[in-house]
Structure 1
């Protein structure tokens, strides 16, 4: 990988890690479900008019939009609003790799290797340590919401595997159109029109900036750059950079939000990152005509037909 490509991969991981800190700041300006809806609205418009027609079946776009956009991000935003720290959220969400492997084994018959199974156990141990740490210092319910978000992410990964989108950016932009109305409806029902209107009326530059960052920088730039790298390098070369996301997430949260990183949290980070590395990066039996495409949004080991891999 060229130095410029390596720097781009690190930059994307940094953007996705810092994104959790930006979300935390945005939650000071918006109710969580409204914030999530605005994020997807800004990610979809005007990009949906620039990426062309959908290149994947609409049923998969709708399915991934509901599971990834409404369930996963809804739970992340609500969980963080309920007290889940930004840095810990960036770490705990990595357990999605385990959920993806388990669901893929059950639905797609993709049996994990022994080393991958060991990686899952190590990662689950990390989640246990993180749960103990959070249970003594924060709301356990918020922690469980983020774990639930990771499970929803695993489901969306398998759905994305079935969809096999040839263009990750095109797929993500069209997926972003789906959650807007459901999230707005949920926000009106649970957060109330009064709170939503008050947040919109009080919109300032910082609030608008958080929406633009999570929508355009994290989503549009992040996925565009990640897809560009995947078209030029093997996924096994690009995917390891996603393990830097919680490093940047925890570091930025400590730097900008003053979040403490306890010894237990460092232990959880080591177990989770190590377990996820074993789960997602271990060589598997190769199947002719199959390559692997991995990203933090569509993470897990997602085989895609070689003719659709863009390489």
Structure 2
């Protein structure tokens, strides 16, 4: 159970980092074209994480890379979430009010959960469903302004961007045993190059060096480190639950905005925070336990020798844990509390 609470904290930290990017961008970047902002954010993410990978290679740290049969999932995730999603968002933002945009962005968590539940058959309990409803309601309260919810072509583009990010989240779930830094680095480099290319093709000019560096540093934390933590949370919590925790990001953004531009939080902020806190509590209190069978499974990830890792080693083993190597899970049937992590993606009988 300790790993589960750690994973929840990781997911909430990912949300906080991502939510903080909006007010920081507003404070640092000024009136840059949207595609230039997105490109510098993603490029900072990719380059920063690339430096981390280089440092680990120098230190000879072992990690689980993306296997050849997983490349299609990675390419799909990058195409939907790193290229199409940001492009649609930037196009939609040019003609959509800020309040409407913030409200629509809550669709990502809902769509992520729906795809996970319907397409990938991820288990959903009543408390998890109600928790998702409470978190999304909190986001809606935070974003809503009277008269600011009209539908437009831009709004439809933002909704489509949310759908593509939801697909991205579920595709990333398929490769979440791989090195999260590798996944996030690849997304950042491709998305950064794509968005910068679009910005330059539209006639935008690169900003001053210090502004570009500020944007890239913001992207490294808010897009890069955040995505690494998101992938790690996917590994332990499953897609729908991780997406729900990530949906609390707006609270982080509003809280930081209030710190940068001090003013007393309004009633909407406290109502949204209460609803999201209720949603997180409903998720944390979930207990899913039944007899289940693990089929034979072979994969590579960082692990310790817990109840699911009782394998032998075909190499000289020093006894150090945790460690990373390819290993096989033999079929086993047992009962314990669990969640749809990388070892518990079994089907459930519907009564």
TM range (shorter): 0.5 to 0.7
1:297 is aligned to none
For 1:158 and 1:227, the matched residues in 2 are separated by: 11
Tell me the CA shift for residue 103 of structure 1. 0.7
Report the secondary structure of 1:163's partner residue.
coil
Alignment CA distance shift 1:31-1:92 (3 Å): same
For 2:276 and 2:48, the matched residues in 1 are separated by: 37
Alignment CA distance shift 1:80-1:256 (3 Å): farther
2:278 is aligned to 274
Please identify which structure carries the higher helix content: 1
Task: Kindly report the root-mean-square deviation, in angstroms, between the aligned alpha carbons of the 2 structures.
Answer: 4.4
1:35 is aligned to 37
2:192 is aligned to 180
Please say if residues 38 and 211 of structure 1, whose CA atoms lie closer than 8 Å, have aligned partners that are also in contact: yes
Question: For 1:11-90, what aligned pairs fall within 5 Å after superposition?
Answer: 14-25=16-27, 28-45=30-47, 47-48=49-50, 50=54, 54-56=65-67, 57-76=70-89, 83-84=97-98, 89=102
After superposition, the C-alpha distances for 1:256-311 in whole angstroms (9 at most, x for unaligned) are 24688542354344334534654687334565559xxxxxxxxxx863137xxxxx
Gaps spanning 5+ residues in structure 2: where? 58-63, 296-338, 345-351
Please say if residues 43 and 193 of structure 2, whose CA atoms lie closer than 8 Å, have aligned partners that are also in contact: no
1:249 is aligned to 253
For 1:77 and 1:280, the matched residues in 2 are separated by: 34
Tell me how many residue pairs correspond in the alignment: 279
For 2:42 and 2:89, the matched residues in 1 are separated by: 14
Question: For 1:1-311, what aligned pairs fall within 5 Å after superposition?
Answer: 14-25=16-27, 28-45=30-47, 47-48=49-50, 50=54, 54-56=65-67, 57-76=70-89, 83-84=97-98, 89=102, 93=105, 96-126=108-138, 128-130=140-142, 133-136=144-147, 148-188=160-200, 192-193=202-203, 196-197=204-205, 200=206, 202-214=207-219, 216-222=220-226, 245-257=249-261, 261-275=265-279, 278=282, 282-285=286-289, 303-305=341-343
Please say if residues 94 and 272 of structure 1, whose CA atoms lie closer than 8 Å, have aligned partners that are also in contact: no
For 2:33 and 2:175, the matched residues in 1 are separated by: 32
For 1:257 and 1:78, the matched residues in 2 are separated by: 28
Alignment CA distance shift 1:39-1:158 (3 Å): same
Alignment CA distance shift 1:14-1:101 (3 Å): closer
Report the secondary structure of 2:178's partner residue.
coil
Higher relative contact order (CA 8 A, sep 6+): 1
Gaps spanning 5+ residues in structure 1: where? 291-300, 307-311
Alignment CA distance shift 1:227-1:109 (3 Å): closer
The two structures have a TM-score, normalised by structure 2, of 0.60
Report the secondary structure of 1:254's partner residue.
helix
Report the secondary structure of 2:118's partner residue.
helix
Report the secondary structure of 2:341's partner residue.
strand
Tell me the CA shift for residue 74 of structure 1. 3.8
Please identify which structure carries the higher strand content: 2
For 1:18 and 1:29, the matched residues in 2 are separated by: 18
Please say if residues 67 and 155 of structure 1, whose CA atoms lie closer than 8 Å, have aligned partners that are also in contact: yes
Please say if residues 89 and 158 of structure 2, whose CA atoms lie closer than 8 Å, have aligned partners that are also in contact: yes
| Larger of the two Rg values belongs to structure | 2
